[in-house]
């Protein structure tokens, strides 16, 4: 049987079947279509302006490593005029994050981009290792998710960047749509497919890989021989997301377009005005100045619980009442440094961590 020929260039030998479209293509054409689709997403969504300073949220994992490589490639190829930075958050997880950060440090040299690392320890006075030793493995992802989101914004403010891009891919977004449907979380369902979330004066956040399939990101990293770290977090994985993920993989096996179809469905949902009116208005946290829907932001609430030895008080209402009953907040607990968004104005919107 003669070798199959790439359906795009009709010259080279086909090497891969694209998971997203089923097309049989050569390696160079695969790189080109993958990059071009990301470029089209960026252009159509008008993600950047020339001169923007953009931080790539870099974990050392495959998604953010491919994102850094592709952003650099497209910035040069299409002259976006962006100044790119790597921004990593060190959660303080021995045997996981310390190793992945070594990868990011190598990426810094490979891609010639400045790197900023901000640690939970520096910002909150707690590493994830210390948090897990107090709260156990059950709720630790809640702490990590809330702390990471705020740490990324604060790291970006330190770098003076206008925009954070993250490696969330199409599979991540489709999973989130499914989870929000299953939880009946109407407010998040309406927002989770947005490619770019921004308030008037907050740091923009976007997902250039919104339509990129995870399988293609893995293939891209593999064929380009990119240097990335591939171990899962050693603390408890998000079990609920795991179910959504397994379900999505089954759907994808039966019909590859399922991932994009679910994203499109999510985009088509719109929250009715009367429901929007019941959603909480954003304000700034009284204690640390970060955007919040209550007088205290989630990170300050969780941190106070940790500091007072009642870590679950930020998670359940019952535990919160117990904390309140224990008396007012002592003056000597550690708090988060006051946050000033780059523009100096208060934050007005909040988006949903995936």
Q: Which residues are annotated as a binding site for ATP?
A: 57-59, 63, 89, 167, 172
Q: What is the 8-class DSSP label of residue 313? A: G
Q: Which is nearer to Zn ion, 12 or 265 (CB)?
A: 12
Q: Which is nearer to Zn ion, 144 or 178 (CB)?
A: 144
Nearest approach in angstroms of CB 32 to Zn ion is 8
Verify binding: residue 6, Zn ion, rule CB under 5 A: yes
Binders of Zn ion in range 274-293 (CB under 5 A)? 285, 287-288, 290
Q: Which of 18, 29, 113, 341 binds Zn ion (CB under 5 A)?
A: 29
Contact flag: residue 144 with Zn ion (CB under 5 A): no
Query: Residues at the annotated binding site?
Result: 57-59, 63, 89, 167, 172
Query: Using H for helix, E for strand and C for coil, what is the string for 81-93?
Result: CCEEEEEEEECCC
- The smaller minimum CB distance to Zn ion, of residues 25 and 71, is found at 25
Q: Which of 71, 123, 131, 300 binds Zn ion (CB under 5 A)?
A: 300
x/- site string to Zn ion, residues 229 to 268, per CB under 5 A?
----------------------------------------
Phi, psi dihedrals of residue 152, rounded to the nearest 5°: -60, -45
Which residues lie closer than 8 Å to 317 by C-beta, 6 or more apart?
A: none
State the nearest-atom distance from the C-beta of 247 to Zn ion, in Å: 34
Residue closer to Zn ion (CB basis): 227 or 351: 351
CA distances from 67 to 27, 36, 341 (A): 18, 13, 25
351's tokens: 């988006």
Q: Are strands 115-119 and 83-90 parallel, antiparallel or unpaired?
A: parallel
Nearer to Zn ion, 26 or 194 (CB): 26
How buried is 167 (Cβ within 10 angstroms: 0-12 exposed, 13-18 middle, 19+ buried)? buried
Helix (H) or strand (E) holding 119: strand 115-119
Look at the chain and count its residues.
354
User: Which residues are paired to 165 by β-bridges?
Assistant: 56, 206
Q: Does 9 bind Zn ion (CB under 5 A)?
A: yes
Binds Zn ion (CB under 5 A): choice among 18, 20, 26, 284: 26
Which CB sits closer to Zn ion, 42 or 144? Answer: 144
Rounded Cα distance, 67 and 340, in Å = 28
Q: Which secondary-structure segment (H or E) carries 118? A: strand 115-119
Residue numbers of the site for Zn ion (CB under 5 A)?
6, 8-9, 12, 26, 29, 285, 287-288, 290, 297, 300
């Amino acid at each position: 049987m003669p070798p199959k020929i790439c359906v795009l260039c009709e010259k080279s030998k086909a090497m891969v079947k694209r998971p997203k479209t089923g097309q049989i293509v050569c390696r160079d054409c695969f790189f080109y279509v993958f990059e071009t689709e990301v470029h089209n997403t960026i252009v159509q969504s008008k993600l950047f302006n020339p001169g923007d300073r953009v931080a790539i949220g870099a974990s050392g994992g495959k998604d953010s490593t491919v994102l850094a490589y592709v952003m650099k490639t497209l910035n040069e190829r299409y002259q976006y005029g962006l100044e790119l930075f790597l921004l990593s958050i060190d959660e303080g997880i021995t045997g996981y994050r310390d190793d992945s950060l070594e990868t990011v440090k190598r990426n810094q040299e490979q891609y010639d981009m400045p790197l900023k690392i901000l640690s939970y320890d520096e910002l909150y006075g707690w590493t994830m290792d210390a948090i897990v030793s107090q709260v156990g493995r059950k709720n630790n992802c809640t702490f990590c998710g809330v702390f990471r989101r705020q740490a990324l914004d604060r790291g970006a403010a330190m770098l003076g960047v206008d925009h954070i891009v993250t490696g969330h891919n199409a599979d991540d977004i489709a999973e989130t749509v499914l989870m929000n449907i299953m939880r009946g979380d109407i407010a998040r369902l309406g927002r989770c497919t947005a490619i770019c979330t921004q308030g008037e004066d907050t740091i923009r956040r976007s997902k250039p890989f919104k339509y990129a399939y995870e399988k293609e990101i893995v293939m891209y990293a593999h064929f380009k021989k990119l240097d990335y770290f591939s171990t899962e977090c050693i603390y408890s994985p998000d079990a609920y997301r795991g179910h959504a993920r397994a379900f999505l993989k089954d759907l994808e096996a039966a019909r590859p377009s399922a991932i994009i179809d679910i994203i499109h469905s999510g985009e088509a949902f719109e929250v009715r005005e009367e429901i929007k009116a019941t959603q909480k208005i954003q304000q700034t946290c009284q204690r640390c100045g970060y955007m919040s829907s209550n007088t205290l932001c989630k990170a300050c609430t969780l941190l106070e619980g940790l500091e007072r030895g009642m870590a679950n008080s930020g998670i359940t209402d019952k535990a919160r009442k117990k904390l309140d009953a224990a008396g007012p907040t002592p003056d000597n607990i550690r708090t988060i440094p006051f946050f000033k968004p780059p523009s100096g104005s208060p934050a007005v919107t909040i988006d949903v961590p995936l």
